[in-house]
Chain A
Amino acid sequence: MNQHEVIETLKMIQEEKLDIRTITMGISLRDCADESVKKSCGRIRDKIGRLAGRLAAVGDEIEESYGVPIINKRISVTPISIVAESSATEDYFPFARALEEAARDADVNFIGGFSALVQKGMTPGDRKLMNAIPRALSETERVCSSVNVATSRSGINMDGIRLMGSIIKDIAAATKDRESVGCAKLVVFANAPDDNPFMAGAFHGIGEAEAVINVGISGPGVIKSALEKIKGSDLETVAETIKRTSFKITRVGQLVAREAARRLGIPFGIVDVSLAPTPFVGDSVAYILEEMGLERCGAPGSTAALMLLNDAVKKGGLMASSFVGGLSGAFIPVSEDLGMIEAAEQGALSIEKLEAMTAVCSVGLDMIAVPGDTDADTIAAIIADEAAIGVANNKTTAVRIIPVFGKKAGDFVEFGGLLGRAPVMPVSRFGSSVFIGRGGRIPAPLQSYRN
């Protein structure tokens, strides 16, 4: 071990905010279904308590033993629409309450999986779940919800998307006294990954094992610092530097994931190689793009710079972990990234530019505040555009949009904590209602018809 390597590692942790963003335990609830809601909810609480009871403590132990901060401990579960469908009830809210209680007992700040997969159509259970989302997100603190409305193989469910447009409006109204923050806990996906450890979109996919440990890394600050040392070099060198740095960050993730799995006696699933920003100084993805030479994130060239970043992060990460999964890439959540917030405030970053950037990064339109009077069909149409980018490019895209009740473009919203703060961004004033009103499905694209 040479001194230079030791000092580099210490700097990453102490100055550049290298951390493990989340250890997420995925838990199957498929055996918790029952005709009685009460019995089913009881089983859900028991099972989560039994498997995840030590999660938070083990996370703290690993942090202590390796000295790497572990920011969040979280739980993802089987999409509740599947678990609840056997129950004789119209109202799925009790399942959200059961998840909330289980999360509180396990001392985790978020639990994901109040979810439905409706890319091709909706069952009665899917509809009941979707109808329960506004109450679930307004009357619980820790429950996160996601709905998958499209996949490359199935096409785009436009009926599902239209419904999501109005559900998002309902959540905004139900949490109007809290800046419509309920919407920040809902992700509308195309090509949702089954093993994503990051909230709000985490759920435990139906092809997954009984329980699994997934780890999400972070480290935008580390990448930015590495780039500061190679000012003026060409972009090949930039890509190479990011790749090397991503390798090192991911190795720490792999170490923590293996150790958490061993201590909890639960199989290791994947490491999600994602640059997840926070609203704090030194933790911004936008600043990395600016370090590459853009005056502001959102300036022309931002899509190219983001593509380079996203690709180099993946290439470095793939070599460093035996299983890479989840979203893996760079996140661009506006309200959760200091550089993005500034860029949006100054008008450098528009929803349209963000949409283009989502074609080359690992997520979608994330944590975007729009005027409260944006109508449901416009929100649905924004979701449809994102789904189209994901479906046509065989990638995950997601929409987490907040039509902030009573706010107009240019206003500022504080969500608090890791959810950050955001300027309300203007939305096109031209309507899409007739298009959305048609409903039906958009067929899967040609490139999905493979052998």
Chain B
Amino acid sequence: MKAIITVVGKDRVGIIAAVSAKLAANSVNILDISQTIMHDNFTMMMSVDLAGSSVSLKELKLQLAEIGNAMGLVINMYNEELFNSMHRV
């Protein structure tokens, strides 16, 4: 299963490092990253492949939410199929 992770919040040192380290620790492969600063807000979108993930989707969401809480970020992760079905004919 592929998923889209979004990370939004105030920019600071180490956001990408923290998120990608967590993904690597759980054997989640990052396929693509786009990142920008919009109105002082750090905004990142990641496409990831969960096929080799060592934890369940639910557990991974929890772990990402913990990083979000610790760093003052909003981190969401949704199944990529949801976006594909809504925006692609």
Give A residues with C-beta under 8 Å from B. Answer: 1, 3, 5-10, 14, 64-68, 248, 251-252, 254-255
Contact = CB atoms under 8 A, between A and B. Distances in A.
Given A248-B86, A252-B86, A65 B43 contact: no
Contacts of A248: 86-87
Given A9-B78, A66-B78, A254 B4 contact: no
A66 B86 contact: no
- Of A6, A248, A255, chain B has the most CB atoms within 10 Å of the CB of A6
B79 A9 contact: no
Contacts of A65: 1, 57, 79
B47 A1 contact: yes
Contacts of B6: 6-7, 10
Interface in B34-87: 34, 36, 43, 45, 47, 57-58, 76-87
A252 B85 contact: yes
Nearest to A62: B79
Given A3-B34, A6-B4, A10-B6, A251 B86 contact: yes
A10 B80 contact: no
B83 A6 contact: yes
Given A6-B83, A9-B87, A64 B58 contact: yes
B76 to A, nearest CB: 6
B88 to A, nearest CB: 9
Contacts of A67: 76-79, 82
B43 A3 contact: yes
A254 B85 CA distance: 9
Given A65-B57, A66-B78, 17 more contacts: A1-B45, A3-B34, A3-B43, A3-B45, A5-B86, A5-B87, A6-B45, A9-B82, A10-B76, A64-B57, A64-B58, A67-B77, A67-B78, A67-B79, A251-B85, A251-B86, A252-B85
Nearest to A254: B85
Interface of B: 1, 4, 6, 34, 36, 43, 45, 47, 57-58, 76-87
Contacts of B80: 1
Contacts of B4: 1, 6
A255 B85 contact: yes
A5 B58 CA distance: 24
A206 B76 CA distance: 44
- Of A9, A66, A252, chain B has the most CB atoms within 10 Å of the CB of A9
14 contacts: A1-B45, A1-B80, A1-B84, A5-B87, A6-B4, A9-B83, A65-B79, A66-B78, A66-B81, A67-B77, A67-B79, A251-B86, A252-B86, A255-B81
Nearest to B87: A5
Contacts of A3: 34, 36, 43, 45
Contacts of A64: 57-58
B63 to A, nearest CB: 15
Among all A-B residue pairs, the 8 with the closest Cβ atoms? A5-B87, A255-B85, A251-B85, A67-B78, A248-B86, A66-B79, A251-B86, A66-B82
Nearest to B38: A3
